[in-house]
Chains A and B, each alone.
Chain A
């Protein structure tokens, strides 16, 4: 346990001091991207990992908040108002989404969320008076909370880091809470949960709303980061990408989506500068993960670490391997 605390502490210090040891604005920006995509992946993980509800339409929800931020800003409102209004719009979209898609689970849920995501993508693409169509929407400025201008890459990074840490804390609390336990129960034995007195649908609905909140928060960071939003962001490939972050890192784990986000963003932005066929590389990495650690990078490496640890310090009769829950 203390090993784990130590590792988390090192990671925390590394994140806080990152602009000092990471040379170049470019890499600080990559770190910001990793963090807000990690929030997005955390949000999807609430459903895909802990709720057993795989959504293939989260990019649509992400896009709703991003577009709402851009559009309200264009109307001439301030940053604070735009952000709050966009978050509310994102949550309302999530609520509608949830009511429609929670009629089903499993493949049905995937197909409904996929369809809803595609509808939102189509709207972004075609409703030109609102979204600007293919040209997208541009944001002229970034906000300046408490006098810190987020136009600066380092400041933006720190703002993202704060939001990220808050999101991670919220996620940790949720997962350990009774509602979190109930959600995992509905994932594993929905019928039993119903017989035990739980409202399975409502439990899932609240999980959707929490997932939607994290998605919306990450979308606001995203749209301020790129200062641009176009239908591309809502495409099915974006939904799939976030889902891959969750699955590759480890669905149903706290840290998995963060590792997954780092993996995808680094390959997409940094490695793609060196390797032209970075998509191929990403695909190969996913195949390797699926073959070598199907439970995801975080639980998989933990397992390997424990195995290595046990080999170094052989103790008599402590064969407890396989106790970990496989996702």
Chain B
């Protein structure tokens, strides 16, 4: 059984076809990289997979279950988590509150109007553990407004990881990071255990190629090339549309 299967997925915005007959099959534990020039439809594909957008046709399966018509909030409960290319965090709150919100999202306690959220020790403990994992434990109580861009990227990853996803979608996790930060995030991603399947969009080839086992190249919403690292890099079409000569 595959972790994530996308079959004949299509999406058009008016006359613009942004996803055309995309097929994707990601095995459990796999590290998949999705590349493609700007506007190739990579983020759109993510938005279709997470349910932020509804496909025009085609189907999506998560761990063998058809989730094409499952609302995106339910997909989180079924084991899908994502990070955003444009950092999407709760800017008025502290770092740890952001992570606690991620934990609460999967807990039945999210409907509780009577208990004091800050005093729920197990949320705080788990959130702190997730922050330790991404190396932010020492500044857990800092307001998000006082953090750097690189730290926010790691908060995004901590929020996704703390939900214990089976499939993790990373949308350009290295975007905007300095070389040092990139190395840290890279180490962090390498440390994620193999029971998590990872699909990643990334432009930064040095780190991304090293990370991924299989690579899918999108161009104008279509899958052009798919294969392992060597195959895709060697493929003339990759050179043509992406890597340059």
Contact = CB atoms under 8 A, between A and B. Distances in A.
Interface in B86-100: 88-93, 97, 100
A196 B145 contact: no
A180 B102 contact: no
A36 to B, nearest CB: 23
Contacts of A188: 90-92
A12 to B, nearest CB: 21
Contacts of B19: none
Nearest to B120: A178
Contacts of B134: none
B143 A178 contact: no
B92 to A, nearest CB: 3
Interface residues of B, number: 40
B140 to A, nearest CB: 15
A197 B111 contact: no
A274 B170 CA distance: 64
Given A189-B88, A196-B159, A177 B76 contact: no
B5 interface: no
Interface residues on A, range: 20 to 34
B26 to A, nearest CB: 19
Contact of B73 (A176, A177, A197, A325): A197
B117 A180 contact: yes
B197 interface: no
B82 interface: yes
Interface string B186-214: 00000000000000000000000000000
Of listed A174, A178, A179, A191, residue having the most chain B CB within 10 A: A178
A210 B111 CA distance: 13
A177 B116 contact: yes
A178 B115 contact: yes
B112 A196 contact: no
B18 to A, nearest CB: 18
B146 interface: yes
B241 interface: no
A177 B101 contact: no
B114 interface: yes
A198 interface: yes
Given A189-B90, A323-B143, A325-B92, A196 B113 contact: no
A255 interface: no
A197 B114 CA distance: 20
B132 interface: no
A267 B195 CA distance: 65
A195 B76 contact: yes
A145 interface: no
A138 B163 CA distance: 57
B37 interface: no
B243 interface: no
Contacts of B77: 197
Contacts of A192: 84, 88-90
Contact of A180 (B89, B105, B113): B113
Contact of B104 (A176, A182, A200): A182
A198 B73 contact: yes
A195 B112 contact: no
A195 B80 CA distance: 9
B52 A195 contact: yes
Contacts of A180: 113, 117
Contact of A197 (B89, B92, B100, B106): B106
Contact of B116 (A176, A191, A210): A176
B193 to A, nearest CB: 21
B230 interface: no
Contacts of B104: 178, 181-182
B72 interface: yes
A173 B113 contact: yes
B50 interface: yes
B109 interface: yes
Contacts of B112: 177-179
Contact of A177 (B105, B106, B113): B113
17 contacts: A176-B118, A177-B117, A178-B104, A178-B107, A178-B109, A178-B113, A178-B120, A179-B111, A181-B97, A181-B101, A192-B90, A196-B105, A196-B106, A197-B106, A198-B110, A199-B73, A210-B113
Given A185-B101, A196-B73, 19 more contacts: A173-B113, A176-B118, A178-B109, A178-B112, A181-B97, A182-B104, A184-B90, A192-B84, A194-B73, A195-B82, A196-B105, A197-B76, A197-B77, A198-B105, A206-B111, A323-B143, A323-B146, A325-B91, A325-B92
Interface pairs A-B: 3 shortest CB-CB: A196-B105, A325-B92, A197-B76
